[in-house]
Structure 1
Amino acid sequence: MSWLRALKETAHSGLTIERRRLEPLVAIRGAAGLALVIGISLAWFGPVVAASSAFGAFQAAIASFQRSWRPRPVLALVSGASLAGSTFLGYLTGSHVVLFLALLVLWTFLAGLAWAAGPTGGLIASSNVAIMLVTVTLPTSVANSAVHAGMILFGGVVQAALIVLFPVRRWGAQRDALADALAAEADYARRLLHDPLAPFDPVPLMTARSAAAVTPWQARRRPPELRGSRGVAERIRPVLASLADPAMGVPDEGPERDRVRELLGAAGSVLDSAARAIRHGDPVELDPSAVAALRTPDTRSLLTGPPRRAAGRLGTLLSDVIETAEGEGTKEEARTERAVEDIRTAGGETSTASHRRAPTLLRLIPVVVRAMRAELRPGSPILRHAVRVAVVVAVGYLIGTALPFGHGYWAPMAAVMAMRPEFSQTYGRAVARFGGTIVGVLLATVIVRTAHPGLTSSAVLAVCCALLMYLLMRTGYVVGQACVSAYVVFLLGMAGDSWSQTASERVVLTLVGGLLAMLSYAAYPAWETPRLRGRLGDWLKADGRYAAAVVDQYAEPVEHGHDDVRTALLDTREARVAWQEAAAAAQHEPVRSRGLSRAAADDTEHALAEFGRVAMLLEAHLPGGGATPVPEAAELAGALRRATERGAKEVRERRVPDWAEVREALARWDARQRAGESGAAPFVRNGAGLLLEALEEFSRGLDPHPQQRPGR
């Protein structure tokens, strides 16, 4: 992609406004906390302290809006405490330019590294740097700096207290994550009706898994309907796929296929009902026709072999989803309870639910530190971002100080808030920040020149701008920046700043900061395009380990399975998402592809997705303890593991992998079967053949000249 096209697309993405679901009660709560802090600060300390404390309450409310599974009060407290500490250190060094610049560079570098802990931590750390640049310029003395920092912390405490006292949809983020996972499973079941090989995006399941990790405090207060459905949903997906896939024994047409379609449609209906119940905290309302389809006894006569086992497991898993979604308060509803029992009886199996534990906030600190230290290596995109943003903020601060405008912090503040580790987000946000600044400053200037607001009116206008920010922040970055720009203008006007000076300098210096951010990425980039082959190799290696772990269980059946299958599955999901995110980012980069065309990327992605799907089908029918071992599976598992590890290295070295070792293992398996030296295992052997076909398709996608390959 050319630079001109890349700039055009990123600018368009930054200026895009979306229609999103609004949360007015949450916005009103945040604005009420901000108004309370400003009012108390004005009454006790005056407008200057009120302005700094308002920033603390404003940022604490924004932190509680972030996509995080931590309790919202905790996010507000962490934001307020970290901003108070940053501001206090800034006050202590603000009178010494060299010392403050050194602190600013160090603080910004650490804020850049904080993205290693996730986007929420990175955003809070970046916001702390930006707000510190503003608050340290407010007139004060070193003796009063502790008062300012204390009131900033007070703003975070107020927002946290309001979240506790006036909760809005408790556990809403976790409910949405689990409901989205179940809804994705329902959509998958319906797509399998028409396309038995339909793909499935595991991101909703991964998100639900992250949301299911709770601290001991959360575990004691978590609603019962959030305690088991996620684990059941994880097991439903392979069962749905194995039930629909013709390779598992059900023909494309006929009464067996009709029965499978009936079961898939019923599963989609039940999963949708459970998703709605969990999302809103309501009782599960089941479609009687879906319940009747799942408990119909003809499953055992129409379906045989793997499809029959899949149908039985599907009924059991769906009954567990329903029972968990009902929670403890609605178990007395006899109709649903009877339906659950009917479906469970048809399945004839039982299952157990599990949950994950997340570290407490104090125990999370060393985890974050280790994540940041892990990025201190050459080639790390996070390290490049940290270096880039630290240099840009220092240069922006010096430029802003040298220019005759005054208030030179606007340039570094705009840069640190726009910069992200990824190219398109940095450029899109830089454009959106400049556009939003123009709109916000112009509107604020018009209001000021026509209404001439006083101290109280300025505070009210600032709170109104914050309310609009909280309400519309998810509709687009440019909308949020317009509200923030007006908010800062009114807030600093309340503290005694010049209205006209603020309006003129903010636009110019914001443009300077945005240009610095964009130029820095062009000069010191962290492109994803050159790393695509490495991401692809990682996915191939993870897929190979997963398939090998599954196949190996057929060689040594155990009652409860091996933990390495689950671990390998999670690894391959993470590798797949990392590849997809890298491929999506590379599409917007002005960098020419090196050795991996878009067509090759699409072909290899399809092949690896199919490879993982076949392994999932085999996992859906893992044998239990006492099952007949398949010795040939152990040899095949070893071949898969070694071949994919070697193939991943060849992909990184821009070579085409060859799967001779896997072909030879399958050939020996076939020879033993013909000689009568191996037990019959047609299901496993068929799946192994499909794995090899997917690997061959992967190599064909990488090879520009397949007819010249040896052995063809």
Structure 2
Amino acid sequence: MSWLRALKDTARSGMTVERARLEPLTALRAAVGLAIVIAAGLAFLGPGSAASSAFGAFMAAIATFQKSWRPRPVLALAAGLTLAVSTFIGYLVGSSATGLFLVLLAVWSFAASLMWAAGPTAGMIASGNVAIMLVTVTLPTSVPQAAGHAAMIAAGGVVQALLIVLFPVRRWGAQRDALADALAAEADYARRLRHDPVAHFDPEPLMRARAAATVTRRQARRRPAELHGARGLAERIRPVLASLADPAVGAPAEGPARDRVRELLAAAGSVLDAAERAIRHGEPVRLPAPDLAVLKSPDTADLLDGAPLRAARRLAALLDDVLETAEPGSGRTADPGESMLRPTLLALVPVVLKAVRAELRPGSPILRHALRVTAVTCAGYVIGQALPLGHAYWAPMASVMVMRPDFTQTYSRAVARFCGTLVGVAVATAVVQLVQPGMYLSGFLAVVSAGLMYVLMRTGYAVAQLFVSAYVVFLLGMGGVRWDQTVPDRVSLTLLGGLLAMLGYALYPAWETPRLRTRLADWVEALGEYAAAVLGQYADPAGAARGEVRRALLASRDARIAWQDALDRAEGEPVRHRGISRAAADEAAHALAALGQSVMLLEAHLPDRAQAPVPGAAALARALRTATREGAKAVRERRVPRWDGVRELSADWGAPESGVLRGAADQILESLDEVSQALGPASRAETRH
């Protein structure tokens, strides 16, 4: 993709207004918290303290809207308290000398940018601390005042946290939505299998539900019963659906047995939809009787036999458990399986430090992001100070807020921030000119602007910036700052900060495109480990560790999602594909998804511990693990992977009477061959072309 096209695409992306689910009650609660701290500050401490507390409450509320499974009060407190510390330290250093503050800004920017290693929520909170610190350190005039301002900022976070505790809005709503989305995805999968018996399933909804089910100890004691075990049941239902539908191990492709399978899949979709609605809204399960009748029909035993019949009976039992678990207030919980407890913030510190240390290596995208943000922020601060404009902090603040570890988000946010700022300050200036608001009316207009931002922030960054800009104009107006003292400076310096951010990424990029082969190789290796773990269960049913299969499955899902995210980021980069074309990438991904499907079918028919070992399964597991590791190395080195060892063993492997094992083994080898074909000479020639 050329630079011109990339710039057009990112500009269009930044200005896109998306349809999103609005949360007006949550936004109202956040706006009320902001109004409380502004009103208290104006009434008792003056406009300066009111502005400080407003920044704390404002950023604390934004933190609670992030896509995190942490309790919302914890996010509000973390944002408010860390911002208070940043502000106080910034004033202590900045009041001494500009040079020392520049050093602190560099250290703070570098450390905050490294927090992206801990996840996007931590990165956003840390970046916001740097941005707001640039503003708040200019407000106090003495150390006691700085301590007072820091206390007011912390108080703003505390107020937001208390409001969340006292006035919860749709308690456990995010966890309900994640689990309901997983069940809805399973229902859709069941319906697609009726027409395409080998349809693929995107595991992302299940991964998101797993993340939502990882809770703190306090949350675990308070979690509704219907959220305990349905996710584990959904995990077990997916392979059963696939094994029932796939002609290689299930019913024949045509005939009465296939018709019954289609009826069972349709009924399963209806049952899962009913469970999804009940869990999402906390309502009783409403299910049409005919669907349960199909699942319980005795005719199924006359039409199906062997593996398909076992799958049908297993499906009916699992769906019964789903319905009982999803019934609010029933007290029925399925076995939740492994314990998934989220560490406290203090216990998380060593985990975050370990993740940060892992990124302190050459070639790390997070490290490059940290160096890039540090250089751009310091350059913006120096340039802003040198220009004959007031409020020099707006340039580095804009840079910090728009810069992200990837190209597309950085450039799209830079465009959106400037355009949103331009419109926002224009609208706010017009209101100020027409109304001439005083201190309290300016505070009220600031709260209204922030409330609208909270409501609409998920519809697009440009929309959010429009209301943020208006909020800042009204907030500064509380202290008597005239619009003509802020608007021209803010627009000009915001443009400067955005341009510096874009220039910084262009000069010191962290392109995802050259790493695509590495991501693909990671997926190949993870799937090989998953397949080997499943085959190990057939090799030694009595001594098999079921947890090994689960860990390998999760690792393969993580690798798949990492590959897809990398592919999405690379698509918008102004870089030629090095070693793999988009067509080859799509073909290889399709083949690997089919490989995962084949292994899942094997997992669906794992032998009981009392069964005898399958001859040759251990040898094939070793060959598959070795071949995929070597194949992953070949992919990284831009060679075509070969699977000769697997091919030789699979020719004589498995008991002839075991259709499940034979069919899955053949499909695994076929998928591996398709990966090699996708990465073969034709694909390389296409890339050069």
Instruction: Please state whether the residue corresponding to 1:474 is helix, strand or coil.
Output: helix
Rounded Cα–Cα distance in structure 2 between residues aligned with 1:499 and 1:119: 34
Q: Judge conservation of contact 2:243–2:601 (CA < 8 Å) in 1.
A: yes
CA deviation profile, 1:391-418 (whole Å, cap 9, x unmatched)? 1000000000000011110100000000
Q: C-alpha displacement at 1:682, in angstroms?
A: 3.1
CA deviation profile, 1:97-125 (whole Å, cap 9, x unmatched)? 11111111111111111111111111111
Q: C-alpha displacement at 1:353, in angstroms?
A: 4.8
Q: Judge conservation of contact 1:83–1:132 (CA < 8 Å) in 2.
A: yes
Q: Which runs of 5+ in 2 are unaligned?
A: none
Rounded Cα–Cα distance in structure 2 between residues aligned with 1:158 and 1:705: 62
Amino acid at match of 2:185: A
Q: Judge conservation of contact 1:277–1:325 (CA < 8 Å) in 2.
A: yes
Matched, 1:691 2:668: yes
For residue 101 of structure 1, what is the aligned residue in structure 2?
A: 102
For residue 402 of structure 2, what is the aligned residue in structure 1?
A: 418
For residue 550 of structure 2, what is the aligned residue in structure 1?
A: 566
For residue 345 of structure 1, what is the aligned residue in structure 2?
A: none
Matched, 1:658 2:658: no
For residue 19 of structure 1, what is the aligned residue in structure 2?
A: 19
For residue 46 of structure 2, what is the aligned residue in structure 1?
A: 46
Rounded Cα–Cα distance in structure 1 between residues aligned with 2:197 and 2:652: 31
Q: Judge conservation of contact 1:532–1:583 (CA < 8 Å) in 2.
A: yes
Rounded Cα–Cα distance in structure 1 between residues aligned with 2:70 and 2:629: 37
Q: C-alpha displacement at 1:495, in angstroms?
A: 2.3
Matched, 1:469 2:453: yes
For residue 335 of structure 1, what is the aligned residue in structure 2?
A: none
Point out the more displaced range, 527-536 or 292-301: 292-301
Cα gap change, 1:51 to 1:430, in 2 (>3 Å): same
Rounded Cα–Cα distance in structure 1 between residues aligned with 2:357 and 2:301: 57
Q: C-alpha displacement at 1:667, in angstroms?
A: 2.6
For residues 27-426 of structure 1, the aligned pairs below 5 Å read: 27-95=27-95, 96-329=97-330, 353-426=337-410
**Correspondent of 1:681 among 658, 665, 679:** 658
Cα gap change, 1:383 to 1:614, in 2 (>3 Å): same
For residues 516-555 of structure 1, the aligned pairs below 5 Å read: 516-555=500-539
CA deviation profile, 1:602-648 (whole Å, cap 9, x unmatched)? 11011100001000010001001111211211111111000000000
Q: Which runs of 5+ in 1 are unaligned?
A: 332-339, 341-349, 671-677
Point out the more displaced range, 445-454 or 153-162: 445-454
CA deviation profile, 1:136-184 (whole Å, cap 9, x unmatched)? 1124211211100001000001001000111100011111110000000
Amino acid at match of 2:224: P
Q: Judge conservation of contact 2:225–2:331 (CA < 8 Å) in 1.
A: no
Rounded Cα–Cα distance in structure 2 between residues aligned with 1:257 and 1:211: 37
Cα gap change, 1:415 to 1:707, in 2 (>3 Å): closer
Rounded Cα–Cα distance in structure 2 between residues aligned with 1:690 and 1:209: 29
Instruction: Please state whether the residue corresponding to 2:131 is helix, strand or coil.
Output: helix
Amino acid at match of 1:590: P
Q: C-alpha displacement at 1:683, in angstroms?
A: 2.1
Point out the more displaced range, 555-564 or 365-374: 555-564
Q: C-alpha displacement at 1:555, in angstroms?
A: 1.3
Q: C-alpha displacement at 1:706, in angstroms?
A: 9.6
Q: Judge conservation of contact 2:59–2:80 (CA < 8 Å) in 1.
A: yes
For residue 675 of structure 1, what is the aligned residue in structure 2?
A: none
Instruction: Please state whether the residue corresponding to 1:473 is helix, strand or coil.
Output: helix
Q: Judge conservation of contact 2:278–2:285 (CA < 8 Å) in 1.
A: yes
Q: Judge conservation of contact 1:53–1:148 (CA < 8 Å) in 2.
A: yes
Rounded Cα–Cα distance in structure 1 between residues aligned with 2:647 and 2:366: 41
Q: Judge conservation of contact 1:232–1:353 (CA < 8 Å) in 2.
A: no
Point out the more displaced range, 698-707 or 609-618: 698-707
Rounded Cα–Cα distance in structure 1 between residues aligned with 2:335 and 2:445: 57
Rounded Cα–Cα distance in structure 1 between residues aligned with 2:81 and 2:593: 45
Give the TM-score of the pair, scaled to structure 1. Answer: 0.94
Q: Judge conservation of contact 1:35–1:463 (CA < 8 Å) in 2.
A: yes
Point out the more displaced range, 462-471 or 293-302: 293-302
Q: Judge conservation of contact 2:243–2:250 (CA < 8 Å) in 1.
A: no
Q: Judge conservation of contact 2:283–2:328 (CA < 8 Å) in 1.
A: no
Amino acid at match of 2:487: A
Rounded Cα–Cα distance in structure 2 between residues aligned with 1:330 and 1:144: 54
Instruction: Please state whether the residue corresponding to 1:445 is helix, strand or coil.
Output: helix
Q: Judge conservation of contact 2:57–2:156 (CA < 8 Å) in 1.
A: yes
Q: Judge conservation of contact 2:418–2:498 (CA < 8 Å) in 1.
A: yes
Q: C-alpha displacement at 1:308, in angstroms?
A: 1.1
Q: Judge conservation of contact 1:69–1:211 (CA < 8 Å) in 2.
A: yes
Cα gap change, 1:559 to 1:190, in 2 (>3 Å): farther
Amino acid at match of 2:436: H
What is the total number of aligned residue pairs between the two structures? 684
Point out the more displaced range, 644-653 or 277-286: 277-286
Q: C-alpha displacement at 1:309, in angstroms?
A: 1.3
Q: Judge conservation of contact 1:630–1:679 (CA < 8 Å) in 2.
A: no
Rounded Cα–Cα distance in structure 1 between residues aligned with 2:92 and 2:46: 21
Amino acid at match of 2:304: L
Instruction: Please state whether the residue corresponding to 1:70 is helix, strand or coil.
Output: coil
For residue 673 of structure 1, what is the aligned residue in structure 2?
A: none
Amino acid at match of 1:507: V
Q: C-alpha displacement at 1:355, in angstroms?
A: 4.5
Instruction: Please state whether the residue corresponding to 1:547 is helix, strand or coil.
Output: helix
Q: C-alpha displacement at 1:668, in angstroms?
A: 3.8
Matched, 1:603 2:587: yes
Two-structure CA RMSD over aligned residues (Å): 1.6
Cα gap change, 1:158 to 1:313, in 2 (>3 Å): same
Rounded Cα–Cα distance in structure 1 between residues aligned with 2:220 and 2:331: 20
Matched, 1:577 2:570: no
Q: Judge conservation of contact 2:284–2:327 (CA < 8 Å) in 1.
A: yes
Instruction: Please state whether the residue corresponding to 1:248 is helix, strand or coil.
Output: coil
Rounded Cα–Cα distance in structure 2 between residues aligned with 1:527 and 1:623: 46
Give the TM-score of the pair, scaled to structure 2. Answer: 0.97
Cα gap change, 1:329 to 1:553, in 2 (>3 Å): closer
Amino acid at match of 2:327: E
CA deviation profile, 1:209-229 (whole Å, cap 9, x unmatched)? 011001111111111110000
Q: Equivalent pairs: percent with the same residue?
A: 66
Matched, 1:704 2:681: yes
For residue 623 of structure 1, what is the aligned residue in structure 2?
A: 607
Q: C-alpha displacement at 1:68, in angstroms?
A: 0.9
Q: C-alpha displacement at 1:249, in angstroms?
A: 3.5
